[in-house]
A and B are shown apart, each in its own frame.
Chain A
Amino acid sequence: MTDSRFVDKISGRAVPLRGNDIDTDRIIPARFLKSVSFEGLETHAFEDDRKQLEERGQVHPFSNPSYAGARILVVNGNFGCGSSREHAPQALQRWGIRAVVGESFSEIFFGNSVALGMPCLTVAAADAEALLAAAEGDPQAEVRVSVSAQTVAVNGKTYQASVPAGAREAFTAGTWDATGLLLDDFEQVKKVAASLPYVSGF
């Protein structure tokens, strides 16, 4: 196994995406879920939003060549709400995103991202604004994220971020792919199952 299991320091350019309550139907519309694999999802990330802006002569950050190759996504509040589809973080990760920074995340989106090794860091609303402005002002600016230190830094400024202890440990210890961990003590799993009246009989 390579060290890609250990997720901590991530740096790269950032793509700014403004708006509260951006739901997973917008990140990846349902029609692209009609597949038995996750392959190719990245080409459809934000497809409808991108088209609608284009029709009005505007450019969605995910269509803007200045942000091609960005590794960090900066958002506002309640990002990833709605449908539990893992296709949403899959599409972002396959597009190149390695970490998401924002004011808040939906729990299911957050958990799905943990399972993919893509940390979501929470920052204060004003700091999310500052980070959005930094990426808008200079698409080349290098953003540095540290999961263990819970910080996001850009243009010589460091912002306090937070990642819940459980997820932080999972990233830095390389156990974010939970299956192995959950199978470690299968005897205990069987014991709990047997103790439940609806499993073993009332």
Chain B
Amino acid sequence: MGQTLLQKVWDRHAVRTLPTGQTQLFIGLHLIHEVTSPQAFDMIRMRGDRVAFPDRTFATVDHIVPTLNQRRPFLDVLAEEMMCALEKNCREFGIPLYDIDNPGQGIVHVIGPELGLTQPGMTIACGDSHTSTHGAFGAIAFGIGTSQVRDVLASQCLAMEPLKVRRITVNGSLRPGVFAKDVILDIIRRLGVKGGTGYAYEYGGDAFDRMTMEERMTVCNMSIEGAARVGYVNPDETTFKYVEGRAFAPKGADFAKARSWWKSLASDSNATYDDVVLMDAGAIEPTVTWGINPGQSVGITEKLPSPGDVGASDKASVAEALEFMSFRGGMPIAGTKIDVAFIGSCTNGRISDLREAARLAKGRRVASNVKALVVPGSQSVRKLAEQEGLDKIFMEAGFEWRGAGCSMCLAMNPDQLQGRQICASSSNRNFKGRQGSPTGRTLLMSPAMVAAAAIAGEVVDVRKMLDREEVHA
């Protein structure tokens, strides 16, 4: 009987079965950042432990960095304190750090792939739930808490419960104006925000076969929003081409060997799955969230649900979300006025995302009452965008062009919503208070849809702004 990639990678990394029945799993790549690591280093010091594999550990700074003035010391003393703690910990334990002065710096889930640290067949852990992003390469990658960061620092291992695998096959072509972001929003909407509990999601089908690595990363990134701790795509030629030549990728003859090992790890054609879901890419519309979790979304031409339209278990959450958002059931999402537009984050802060948004922004103007930010996911993305002249297109259209970081995805830096502002955002979470104002409101959508909303001043169907030929192609 065939095996899934999850089973193969899991077995290769299993150290032993613990007395608890859990698997002790070796972690091939440990990524750390300033927010969830300082307490872990303190625990290590208290125990008198060392970092077991400092050369399999990499650090960057992303969550707290300001995007306007990045000079040290940071103006925010608490941010500066966290930055100093990370520098000190990395120095003391011999861990490479991509700090703010390093051209490799950026959001942890953007730079891992960029630097070639992320490779197929690895187990990857990071104190951040969107670690699932790295699954786009056929790695088993998951988010962990700070005590587990301590475990990985001390032992390079985690105690893990086994995962089931749900195969999500998406066949057919995405229609123009529909992006990877819409695919994952649609998956979460259908399977629910708790649907993935206990599962790894394996994404496949010809829609995924045709996707670029950046698109696959967008989908895998939000697996956790559907409660799947792990999401992955089997490695293929697209994967190998992306990895080849990157700083930490295997070189020369090693690459050829690596390639055949990676290939051997893909799920067998006769693998068995714990669950199978089939979807049609052509049926997916540009999708927008209207509520307070990423599963509360509608297609751009649809209307919001009322508590009366949903099952008993969802009534209370629909009512709560409508109330928080000051929306009414039955109203269309299109036409909702926005105050802020945010393009960035580990979901949609890569070069292809900025290109899509710039295509919309070119020759147009941001609505006068909208504050629009573009925050590249990494310094490399920023540099590449500037080489392509995207920064000028954005600035001429009235977008602000910022330094790399997480920024308004979670608003731990000065980029925050004020009061009841509504933000069209390319990020991944629309939880209450997520973007810095406890009463602020977030509408999640693709970067192209955010750019379109910034220009129109309200949520619009991006397809109406794309060239006619493209839409009718």
What are some 28 contacts across the A-B interface (CB < 8 A)?
A19-B320, A21-B317, A29-B433, A31-B412, A33-B63, A83-B129, A84-B129, A86-B39, A104-B194, A107-B229, A108-B143, A112-B146, A115-B148, A115-B151, A166-B21, A166-B22, A169-B19, A179-B150, A179-B155, A189-B156, A192-B14, A193-B26, A196-B26, A196-B28, A197-B257, A197-B261, A202-B255, A202-B261
A84 touches B144 (CB 8 A): yes
Q: Are B15 and A189 in touch, CB under 8 angstroms?
A: yes
Known: A33-B35, A38-B39, A84-B144. A106 touches B197 (CB 8 A): yes
CA distance A198 to B265 in the complex (A): 13
The interface stretch among A60-68, A74-82, A144-152 is: A74-82
**CA gap between A166 and B18 in the complex, in Å:** 9
Query: B interface vs A, CB < 8 Å?
Result: 12-16, 18-22, 24, 26, 28, 35-36, 38-39, 42-43, 47, 49, 52-53, 56, 63-64, 76, 78-79, 81-82, 85, 119, 121-122, 127-129, 143-148, 150-151, 154-159, 161, 193-194, 197-198, 224-225, 227, 229, 250, 254-255, 257-258, 261, 293, 313, 316-317, 320, 410-412, 429, 431-434, 436, 438-439
Q: Is the CB of B19 within 8 A of A23?
A: no
Task: Of the listed stretches A9-17, A130-138, A180-188, name the one at the interface; the rest are far from the partner chain.
Answer: A180-188
B438's closest neighbor in chain A, by CB?
Answer: A48
Q: List, in ascending order, chain B residues with CB within 8 A of A164's CB.
A: 161
Q: What is the CA–CA distance of A189 and B14 in the complex, to the nearest angstrom?
A: 9
Tell whether, in the assembled complex, residue A34 and residue B78 are in contact, meaning their CB atoms are under 8 Å apart. yes
A173 close to B19 (CB less than 8 A): yes
CB <8 Å contact, A36 and B193: no
In the complex, whether A59 has a CB less than 8 A from a CB of chain B is: no
Q: Is the CB of A26 within 8 A of B433?
A: yes
* Mask: chain A, 19-35; 1 = CB below 8 Å from B; 0 = not: 11101011001110111
With contact pairs A106-B197, A189-B15, A193-B53 given, residues A23 and B154 touching in the complex (Cβ less than 8 Å): no
Q: Are A188 and B20 touching (Cβ within 8 A)?
A: no
Would you call A104 and B197 a contact (CB within 8 A)?
A: yes
- How far apart are B259's CB and chain A's nearest CB, in angstroms? 9
Q: Which chain B positions have C-beta within 8 A of A195? A: 12
Taking a contact as CB atoms under 8 Å apart, the answer to whether A48 and B432 are in contact is: yes
By beta carbon, the residue of chain B nearest A171 is: B20
Residue of A nearest to B159 (CB): A178
Contact yes or no, A175 B19, CB < 8 A: yes
The listed residue (A20, A78, A175) touching B227 by CB distance below 8 A is A78
Pairwise interchain contact B261-A169, C-beta atoms closer than 8 A: no
Please indicate the chain A residues that have their CB under 8 angstroms from the CB of B20 in the complex.
165-167, 169-170, 173, 175, 181
Distance in angstroms between the alpha carbons of A49 and B438 in the assembled complex: 8
Q: Are B145 and A115 in contact (CB under 8 A)?
A: yes
Q: Which 6 A-B pairs have the closest CB atoms?
A: A115-B147, A112-B145, A86-B145, A48-B438, A182-B155, A36-B38
Q: A29-B438, A36-B38 are in contact. Are A199 and B47 (CB under 8 A)?
A: no
Residue of B146, B225, B434 with most partner-chain A CB within 10 A:
B146
Is A119 engaged at the interface, CB distance under 8 Å to the other chain? no
Most buried by B among A106, A111, A165, A188: A111
Across-interface contacts of A170 in B (CB, < 8 A): 20, 22, 159
Q: How far is the CB of A102 from chain B (nearest CB, A)?
A: 12
Q: Nearest Cβ distance between residue A76 and chain B, in whole angstroms?
A: 9
Q: Which residues of A contact B439 (CB under 8 A)?
A: 52
B146 near A166 with CB under 8 A, answer no
User: Is B261's CB under 8 angstroms from A36's CB?
Assistant: no
CA distance A192 to B27 in the complex (A): 10
Whole-angstrom distance between the alpha carbons of A104 and B196 in the complex? 12
B36, A86: Cβ atoms closer than 8 Å: yes
Q: Is the CB of A112 within 8 A of B147?
A: yes
